[in-house]
């Protein structure tokens, strides 16, 4: 599943290839791709045709592209996209053959490359939503700004984290507290901070919170850099595999391999119906909590 760095790579590609262009036509090949546009497919098409994308933004794993009308004035709406499990946004020459799982196609008045939404499993989707005054669409407003965003508030995050009565990994995955951190990056950040995911948030010291946040930022930044290096500028890249960064994972998916820091075999534990990976030496389990 695409995580924050992969979606950020897509955002950059969209900013480069789509911003400033006017949509000539919209074709929806599968209604499920626009199911979140509650007024229906025809309304979705009408809300986009003749409009221009003015920017490419991201909130968590959502992309949102504000729209302007033919006069250049903002429409107060934005195209909102989520890639789900397998979604891709591709910039393709009009002559390129259709992808098997093509769900929507945008052509542009300049006759140049098309924007295509391709999604094998169709968990992703597109919708046009209100975005008054160019602000983030209200449906996304509850998603916390992520630590790659310059506006991320370190003090507010630290205070909110320590107020929670939960396990630190659950808190990292809570999109209302910190945006865009999925299972892989949570495990990697916890390893960097030397914290077991079951540590209670309200017992973390300020120093531990700071180390955790550094871990999150570093791992996301490095993953983004990897996505950036392999980013083919003509292909708005997301492969859904967290592919390029996988070579650099210290603990995630590394069960029984040596910890890169201390050599202790990495352990795998089940957590929220998934797996958590950690180093038993660097990330000792917390003592049992008071009854």
Give contact residues for Zn ion (rule: CB under 5 A): 259, 261-262, 264, 279, 281-282
User: Of 246 and 264, which CB lies nearer to Zn ion in the complex structure?
Assistant: 264
Minimum distance between the CB of residue 240 and Zn ion, rounded to whole angstroms? 30
> Whole-angstrom Cα distance, residue 221 to residue 248?
12
Of these residues, 163, 203, 274, 285, which one is catalytic? 274
Minimum distance between the CB of residue 190 and Zn ion, rounded to whole angstroms? 12
Minimum distance between the CB of residue 184 and Zn ion, rounded to whole angstroms? 18
Which residues lie closer than 8 Å to 188 by C-beta, 6 or more apart? 215, 219, 249, 250, 251, 252
Minimum distance between the CB of residue 282 and Zn ion, rounded to whole angstroms? 3
Of these residues, 3, 6, 8, 114, which one is catalytic? 3
User: Of 172 and 190, which CB lies nearer to Zn ion in the complex structure?
Assistant: 190
Minimum distance between the CB of residue 258 and Zn ion, rounded to whole angstroms? 8
Which residues lie closer than 8 Å to 19 by C-beta, 6 or more apart? 53, 54, 55, 56, 65
Of these residues, 2, 66, 137, 147, which one is catalytic? 2
Of these residues, 51, 58, 59, 61, which one is catalytic? 61
User: Of 225 and 262, which CB lies nearer to Zn ion in the complex structure?
Assistant: 262
User: Of 139 and 261, which CB lies nearer to Zn ion in the complex structure?
Assistant: 261
Minimum distance between the CB of residue 266 and Zn ion, rounded to whole angstroms? 8
Q: Residue 280 catalytic?
A: no
User: Of 28 and 282, which CB lies nearer to Zn ion in the complex structure?
Assistant: 282
Q: Residue 93 catalytic?
A: no
Please give the backbone phi and psi of residue 31, each rounded to the nearest 5 degrees, phi first.
-60, -25
Q: Residue 170 catalytic?
A: no
User: Of 4 and 189, which CB lies nearer to Zn ion in the complex structure?
Assistant: 189
Q: Residue 2 catalytic?
A: yes
Q: Which amino acids are annotated catalytic? A: 2-3, 61, 274
């Amino acid at each position: 599943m695409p995580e924050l760095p992969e979606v950020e790579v897509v955002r950059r590609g969209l900013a480069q290839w789509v911003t400033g262009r006017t949509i000539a036509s919209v074709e929806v090949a599968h209604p499920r791709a626009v199911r979140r546009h509650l007024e229906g497919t025809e309304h979705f098409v009408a809300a986009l045709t003749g409009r221009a994308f003015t920017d490419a933004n991201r909130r968590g794993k959502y992309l949102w592209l504000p729209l302007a009308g033919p006069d250049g004035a903002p429409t107060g709406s934005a195209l909102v996209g989520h890639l789900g499990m397998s979604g891709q946004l591709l910039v393709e020459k009009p002559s390129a053959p259709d992808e098997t799982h093509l769900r929507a196609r945008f052509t542009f008045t300049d006759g140049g490359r098309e924007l295509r939404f391709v999604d094998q499993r169709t968990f992703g989707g597109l919708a046009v939503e209100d975005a008054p005054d160019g602000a983030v669409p209200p449906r996304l407003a509850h998603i916390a700004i992520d630590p790659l965003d310059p506006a991320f508030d370190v003090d507010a995050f630290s205070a909110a984290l320590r107020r929670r009565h939960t396990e630190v990994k659950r808190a990292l995955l809570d999109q209302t507290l910190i945006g865009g951190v999925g299972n892989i990056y949570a495990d990697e950040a916890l390893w960097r901070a030397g914290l077991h995911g079951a540590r209670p948030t309200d017992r973390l010291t300020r120093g531990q919170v700071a180390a955790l946040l550094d871990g999150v930022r570093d791992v996301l930044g490095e993953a983004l850099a990897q996505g950036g290096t392999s980013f083919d500028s003509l292909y708005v890249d997301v492969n859904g595999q967290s592919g390029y960064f996988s070579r650099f994972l210290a603990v995630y998916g590394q069960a029984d391999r040596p910890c890169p820091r201390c050599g202790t075999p990495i352990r795998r534990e089940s957590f929220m119906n998934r797996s958590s990976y950690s180093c038993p030496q660097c990330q000792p389990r917390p003592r049992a909590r008071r009854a």
